[in-house]
Structure 1
Amino acid sequence: MGSLAGLLQSRRGWSCWRRLRSPSFRFPNSPAAAAAAAHLKRAALWPGCLRGMEEGVDEDEQQKQQPPPPPPPPRVSTSYRAIQRVGIAVDETNVLPGALQLIRKLRPQWETERVKTKLFTEGITNKLMACFTAENMGDAVLVRVYGRKTELIVDRANELRNFQVLQDHSCAPSLYCTFENGYCYEFMPGKALGPEHIRQPNIFRLVAHEMAKMHRIHTNGSLPKPCLWHRLHKYFNIVKTEFPRKASNSGLHQEVHIPSLEVLEEEIRWMKEHLSQLRSPIVFCHNDLLSKNIIYNKAEGHVRFIDYEYTGYNYQAYDIGNHFNEFAGLNEVDYSLYPSKEIQLQWLRHYLQAYKKLGQEDLGGGSKSRGESGAVSEEELESLYVQVNQFALASHFLWACWGLIQAQFSTIDFNFARYADIRFKQYFKAKPAVTSFKMSK
């Protein structure tokens, strides 16, 4: 079958096309007709496919008259590579035996007695162990074991898809295999940062640039929906089911002083109505950028993000606001460390400059236009500042609900109930101040 454009170049084909475009024409009800309708619909979305034919312009002449279109922005592939699957389940409470089993599959050339291991203890969702033979851990394989009941709060299939997307854009390490309750991947050399590092200008400039790079990963031609509301409702529904039933048995009510479920439900309604009106762009977000999820490679002068469980399309301002909340730390939360407006504006300027330049590069802009595209107005800066601080409220609320769920199910040694209490309190404390901020007109 010839191309649609070739068909339309014939007199008969063009006559058919004119008839098809008539308002009175209706396709017959058949599979073939439906396929033809879909094909023509796609053609209508192809700028320039039919341009000039109605006007009687020769195709060669038309091509001379029309400037070449800019190259399309990069797309995220919808066909994901198959990942090696290993039929091993690793005991979450005793990771070592299962990790060594996996290493024998992935690195059969390694001598078992030479394999060293390191258990990372900072994570509060999963268990993580490195297996390596080199002294500098340069050949390390990371074995990540899902935490108990984390499938309630994490879409594991989506996590692996997003891992591959990030890998394709040089934002993630290599993914080696999956197993029954986790996956193995490449060790990323560098230093995991702490709250004291991410407020340093030389570091937060790199973080802002890396976040802009992630935010410029494009959807595959569709209009993405923010994951925030689905995730928030999902977590809250689990809280409604689990919290009242188990709190009386565990003494959790004495640990966590939260408002009634009715009040919390009303807050979710308010957030969705209010924050949705701020017109924050929907971009590809990390959604969990605490300091330990940032790896700083001093030798190469860059940072990389790790842990992609919560990655997905979301509001740009949410991702930044969530990161600013993490300036307060995790184990000993101190909101006096929340970045001042001065620090935020510096951070946001770095971010917007990088975000604009990357956007211009996607469209194939020249060096001059790229330089000009990095200019950031005060109005843009102030608007993003308002959006970020108001979306930070949703971050507090979501992680508070997450903490209540983890308090019921997690075996990790962390006081999730206390953490939930802190995040709820900060939500209600910050709300009056940040909602008084007004967007630039």
Structure 2
Amino acid sequence: MLHLPPALRHRKFALLWASLLISYAGSNMQLWTLYWHLRDLSDQPVVVSGIGLARFIPMLAFALFGGLVADLFNRRHIMFVSQLTMMAIATALGALTHSGMIQIWHIFALTAVQAVAAAFDIPARQSIIPNLVSKEDLPNAFSMSSIAINVGAIIGPGLSGLVISRMGLDAVYWINAVSYIAVLVAVLVMGKVQQETAAAPGSRRKAFSLESIREGIQFILHQPMILSTMLLDFFATFFSTADTLLPFVARDILRVDEIRYGWLAAAPSLGAMSVGLVVSQLRGIQNQGRLLLSAVTIYGAATILFGISQQFLLAMVALFLIGAGDSLSAIIRNTIRQIHTPDRLRGRAISVNQIFFLGGPQLGDIEAGLLAQAFGTPIAIITGGIGCILAVIGIAQRWPQLRSYNGDEPRPATSPEAA
């Protein structure tokens, strides 16, 4: 019998979760539209995959500062400013596209600015979650967050294909701009959120230093469970991610239109949401280490299956399995990181993680584009899946304690209960 997930009994989390359902749908509409848009402007895989570099460089430059800001200042205020910035970027994309003036460099430049905003938004948004729910409901909160992400990632791509075919590319960008209003309203309505900051208000200027950033890095390096899962995520996504190649698979191999392209883009999120729904009904997860390694292995194997797919339905199944494996991995990784990180360091820990979990896919897009340019799209995808599986084997051997991790071991850090 289905029941209300425990995390949604916390009003402030429920507000944020509902708003993100809407915003994630808009963001995913824009994401997959950008890939299609770039494919319209260029038929070179390496050019389209270059969008990953436009994201990675700003993220690398600002991620650690974004995490420190999330530890020193009000996370709600940071979210409001960053979401407002991304709303402005979507509006600019819509205006340039509607005018017919848009060029590849416009998309790259605006994507880079959005990556800067995300470098501050992601640590604030993720680190505020333990401030909104109790420690016992934290795994459930991350499961529900995964569902919100994946519902948006199902609705968004599906709508993007439909909107592109019926209303044009510019309409997608306008719709995404409007979707940010939901988060802005939720952040205002939820009110004050209890937060343990890394410094008192009067000493924040002193705390805003490279030494404070170094403290966050040193914390990660001395937490083997967190470090091993971050590295696992980085290498798995570096090898297996090939999102920017999906328009080439859709057009040149499967030979489908914009609408079926939207379905392909939504398939991983269907798999991810299925896993999220199952986990949301569980009070706890046992054998977390083995489950994590198994999930990433499935992710790599499904990537190989996608690479050899020549039929639309087989490609859909492969992408569904990719999303399922990735979702289970993400839920377990997020829970491990948040439980083992004190609140005063949480923003910085998330910012370090951001380099891994965003850097892997974005650098992976570039790697996949270069391989596709040289050897063809299928080879780029298949070799990525093989690399992912090899990464699982390497991480499991380097950190054997990950294989035996259950999830109920003594915790070096706890999260404060939400007010």
Give the TM-score range, shorter chain: under 0.3
Specify which structure has the bigger relative contact order, considering alpha-carbon pairs within 8 angstroms and separated by 6 or more residues: 2
When you count strand as a share of all residues, which structure comes out higher?
Answer: 1
User: Considering only CA atoms, is the larger Rg found in Structure 1 or Structure 2?
Assistant: 1
State the TM-score, normalized to the length of structure 1: 0.24
Structure with greater helix share of residues: 2
TM-score (norm 2): 0.25
